[in-house]
Amino acid sequence: MPGPAPISNAASAGSEPALGKGGFSIVTQLALLTAFWLVISAAFAFQVYALGIMPWSTAAAVSLFDWGPWILCSPLVIWLTHRLPLGPKTWRWALPAHLGCCLLLVLLIETASAAIVGRREELFPPPPPPQARRERYDRAFREDRGPVAPLLMRLLDRARVSIAVYWMLVAATHALAQQRRSLERERRAAQAEALLAEARLETLQAQFQPHFLFNTLNTIAQLVYENPAAAEDMIASLSELLRTVLSVQQRREVPLHEELSFIERYCSIQRVRFSDRLRVEYAVDPAVRDAIVPALILQPLVENAIIHGIAPASRPGTVFVRARRTGGQLELEVADTGAAGSPESAKGSELHFKEGVGLGNTRARLAALHGAQQSFALHPSAEGGVSVRILIPLRLPPS
Partner 1 sequence: MKIATLIVDDEAPARARLRRLLDAEPDIQVIGEAANGDEAIRAILDQRPALLFLDVQMPSPDGLAVLRTVRDVWLPCTIFTTAFAEHAVAAFELHALDYLLKPYSRERFATALARARLHLGTAAPEEGDQRVAALVADPAVSRGPIERFLVKLNERYVVVRAADIEWVEAAANYVILHTAQGNHVLRRALAAIEAELDPRRFFRLSRSSIANLSAIQEIRTVGTGERTVVLRSGAQLPLTRGLRELQERLESTG
Q: Is 21 in the site for partner 1 (CB under 8 A)?
A: no
Residue 80 or residue 223: which is nearer to partner 1 going by CB?
Answer: 223
Query: Bridge-partner residues for 321, per DSSP?
Result: 282, 334
If binding means CB under 8 A, how many residues of this protein chain bind partner 1? Answer: 29
Q: Compute the least distance from the CB of residue 308 to partner 1, in Å.
A: 8
Integer Cα distance of 195 and 135 in angstroms: 73
Q: Compute the least distance from the CB of residue 176 to partner 1, in Å.
A: 51
Residue 251 or residue 379: which is nearer to partner 1 going by CB?
Answer: 379
Q: Is 344 in the site for partner 1 (CB under 8 A)?
A: yes
Q: Compute the least distance from the CB of residue 297 to partner 1, in Å.
A: 24
Residue numbers 308-327 binding partner 1 by CB under 8 A: 311-312, 314
Integer Cα distance of 362 and 360 in angstroms: 5
Residue 32 or residue 339: which is nearer to partner 1 going by CB?
Answer: 339
Q: Which of the 8 DSSP states describes residue 313?
A: -
Q: Is 272 in the site for partner 1 (CB under 8 A)?
A: yes
Of the candidate residues 23, 210, 327, 328, the single one contacting partner 1 (CB under 8 A): 210
Of the candidate residues 21, 128, 211, 327, the single one contacting partner 1 (CB under 8 A): 211
Site stretch for partner 1 (CB under 8 A), options 135-143, 177-185, 268-276, 315-323? 268-276
Integer Cα distance of 178 and 182 in angstroms: 6
Helix ranges restricted to H, 51-147: 56-67, 69-83, 91-123, 131-137
Integer Cα distance of 389 and 335 in angstroms: 8
Contact characters 100-119, partner 1, x per CB under 8 A:
--------------------
Q: How would you classify residue 387: left for phi > 0, otherwise alpha for psi between -120 and 50, otherwise beta? A: beta
Q: How would you classify residue 22: left for phi > 0, otherwise alpha for psi between -120 and 50, otherwise beta? A: left
The SS3 of residue 122 is helix
Q: Is 220 in the site for partner 1 (CB under 8 A)?
A: yes
Q: Is 357 in the site for partner 1 (CB under 8 A)?
A: no
Q: Is 225 in the site for partner 1 (CB under 8 A)?
A: yes
Q: Is 215 in the site for partner 1 (CB under 8 A)?
A: yes
The C-alpha angle 13, 16, 20, rounded to 5 degrees, equals: 160
Residue 267 or residue 339: which is nearer to partner 1 going by CB?
Answer: 339
Q: Compute the least distance from the CB of residue 396 to partner 1, in Å.
A: 40
Q: Is 303 in the site for partner 1 (CB under 8 A)?
A: no
What separation in angstroms does the CA of 280 have from each of 212, 294, 319? Answer: 18, 21, 5
Helix axes 148-207, 357-370, angle to 10 degrees: 130
**How many CA atoms does the CB half-sphere of 123 hold within 13 Å?**
11
Q: Would you tell me which residues interact with partner 1 (CB under 8 A)?
A: 210-211, 213-215, 217-223, 225-226, 272-275, 307, 311-312, 314, 339, 342-344, 346-347, 351
